[in-house]
A and B are shown apart, each in its own frame.
Chain A
């Protein structure tokens, strides 16, 4: 059982107009086996939270902490965080020209495990995982994300989730841009990994439709850089009906208070 603990996190970015505060005191605890859904309006800071956990250099942590079983995540480099078991499925996966998927997956797996995977098993694992996610075999030869459609990129993120087996997965709008079939296939991938019992999951989404496939234990409403409300799965349904309006007022009030 592992715990990812985020405490009173304040994050800003440097813009041309100076420093801009985005996260204004986020606290969240995720344990192995739990699934947390984070919902919230555009620009509320969901991706900022995800990227900050992964260690993207653009984000400055002004105060607060992130720990993984008591270890200070914020002092780790990006790759150290990944090796500690954190995985971010990105909202906009980056195209990396010149690096083939095959080469990339093997290099990453080797780095994560500290040793090269047995070639025979690895090739088989990759093939099987790709087949289950209905990713064409010839994607292995293509460069990382290069020319992949939006939906294909998301599948490839989940392919990595399954191959790398992280302790905590943060899925940033993995459901966006997926058609109904793809949504199902991708959700099954997440559930397969989650059901092994070694992973805690944070699911960032705008839509409840993915929550029909991936059942959250907790739902957090993110507004203006902070969690405005928390609840069980029923909160998601309420959000779908009512929208974020009633939080917007609160958020503004809190910010100006």
Chain B
């Protein structure tokens, strides 16, 4: 198994990741690098070269006992080659990755164009830019490979104290199926306010790292919409670091693509943070839509809410939701709740839902989770039809109602409308 490391921010800079096949060790803990003063607090620079040794020696292999101990490294070689038996890959059909996990990610990749707000800053930067690594550290092999392979990064900065004068739209357009890597950074500085919508379309075989820094007192919404062509393969790590009293809303909408696997995470770095994570996915026949979340309550008095909802229709439509919530020893006053609901519209679809709450302190406000996967109920259908509503329309009414709850949370009217229409198209395509 690959996950053999420990990341324990703010506790011990001596804890290293271990068990790398190369035998060398890489450590990356916020604010605890010794050699990294000239780099960002989170980047030890090893990712670029894969050489630099960073931690204080090697420790024995520790099997993953907790989600918080999963291997994290900028060094691709630290991650064993995937077999599909790893805990975090066990639901993913590797053979449909079109080489993302085996081939070099040197395709041109989708184009990125940023529009919308005028009072923000958009840059394309070299890999040596100190902001690379400001908020993320790969915790799986494909993410690490993408980290090493992405030739440049797009950095979107919302300056401190600035309210973006409109939504920021990031259009990501894929043109071919060559395996490619991509790196984006969204840096919402202290007390800024912004909404960023990432829109993925076209075809691609893409491994993507998105770093999101939510500065102290900032309010940031990031919406990641996957409306890929039906052959696309997309693996995306979206890691957010949440500052003091910051508010972060993350929304995932996965509709298109053959295989889409997102691993969004929110890590609280100072008290008072508030995170909402929403997800909506609609899988058709043969589609694999996977989302693995992590909310890391590492500090006191933060609040998180996770709501993911999925609909499935058609043979071999498969969705996966794994929601890991960590409440660490110091996270007193934590208030968290996560829920995942799935609606199976036809036979032959499969939905896996795994909530996972780890609690290391009893001094919390509340912690809960719920997960339910229901079949579209004959009794619902009967009730609606008994009021004259034809079967097709009754089904649509229910699905629409089911998913609208999430769409309404986005808070971008044009996008909400667009997505409602997209859901209608999904329903129409499924002949429901």
Contacts and interface: CB of A to CB of B under 8 A. Distances in A.
Interface of A: 54-57, 77-79, 81-83, 87-88, 90, 93-94, 96-100, 103-104, 107-108, 111-112, 143-144, 160, 164
Complex A-B, nearest 6 residue pairs according to Cβ-Cβ distance, in ascending order:
A98-B401, A82-B388, A108-B387, A78-B385, A112-B388, A99-B401
A56 B383 contact: no
A185 B404 CA distance: 34
B388 A79 contact: yes
B389 A107 contact: yes
B402 interface: yes
B383 A97 contact: no
B397 interface: yes
Given A83-B388, A108-B387, 9 more contacts: A97-B402, A98-B400, A98-B401, A99-B397, A100-B401, A107-B393, A111-B387, A111-B388, A143-B401
Interface string B363-385: 00000000000000111101111
Nearest to A99: B401
B412 to A, nearest CB: 21
A57 B384 contact: no
A108 B388 contact: yes
B362 interface: no
A88 B385 CA distance: 11
Contacts of B384: 96, 99, 104, 108
Given A79-B389, A79-B390, A111-B393, A93 B401 contact: no
| Chief secondary structure at chain B's binding surface | helix
17 contacts: A56-B382, A78-B382, A79-B386, A79-B390, A82-B385, A82-B387, A88-B386, A97-B398, A97-B401, A98-B400, A98-B402, A98-B405, A99-B384, A104-B384, A107-B397, A108-B389, A112-B387
A108 B403 CA distance: 20
A142 to B, nearest CB: 12
A144 B379 CA distance: 13
A66 B429 CA distance: 37
Contact of A79 (B380, B391, B403): B391
Interface in B383-428: 383-391, 393-394, 397-398, 400-405
Contacts of B386: 54-55, 78-79, 81-82, 87-88, 90
Nearest to B309: A98
Of the candidates A79, A81, A94, A144, the one having the most CB atoms from chain B within 10 angstroms of its own CB is A79
A72 to B, nearest CB: 18
Nearest to B397: A99
Interface residues of B, number: 24
B426 to A, nearest CB: 16
A69 B397 CA distance: 32
Contacts of A107: 389, 393, 397
A237 to B, nearest CB: 33
A67 to B, nearest CB: 19
Contacts of B385: 55, 77-79, 82
A112 B393 CA distance: 13
Contacts of A79: 385-386, 388-391, 394
Contacts of B405: 98
A112 B390 CA distance: 10
A82 B403 CA distance: 27
Contact of A96 (B380, B390, B391, B393): B380
Contact of A57 (B378, B383, B393): B378
B106 to A, nearest CB: 45
Nearest to B387: A108
Nearest to B405: A98
Nearest to B392: A79
A75 B403 CA distance: 34
Interface string B83-105: 00000000000000000000000
A212 to B, nearest CB: 29
Contacts of A94: 377, 379-380, 382-383
Nearest to B374: A97
Contacts of A164: 387-388
A104 B382 contact: no
B382 A57 contact: yes
Contacts of B383: 90, 93-94, 96, 144
A184 to B, nearest CB: 25
A129 to B, nearest CB: 15
A104 B391 contact: no
A251 to B, nearest CB: 29
Contacts of B388: 79, 82-83, 108, 111-112, 164
A54 B378 CA distance: 14
Contacts of A98: 398, 400-405
Contacts of B389: 79, 107-108, 111
A93 B384 CA distance: 11
A245 B405 CA distance: 52
A77 B397 contact: no
Contacts of A144: 383
A104 B389 CA distance: 9
A93 B383 CA distance: 8
Contacts of B387: 82, 104, 108, 111-112, 160, 164
Nearest to A112: B388
A160 B404 CA distance: 24
Contacts of A78: 382, 385-386
Contacts of B390: 79, 111
Contacts of B397: 99, 103-104, 107
B177 to A, nearest CB: 37
Contacts of B404: 98
Contacts of B400: 98
Contacts of B377: 94
Interface-central residue, B380, B382, B388, B402, by most chain A CB under 10 Å: B388
Nearest to A166: B388
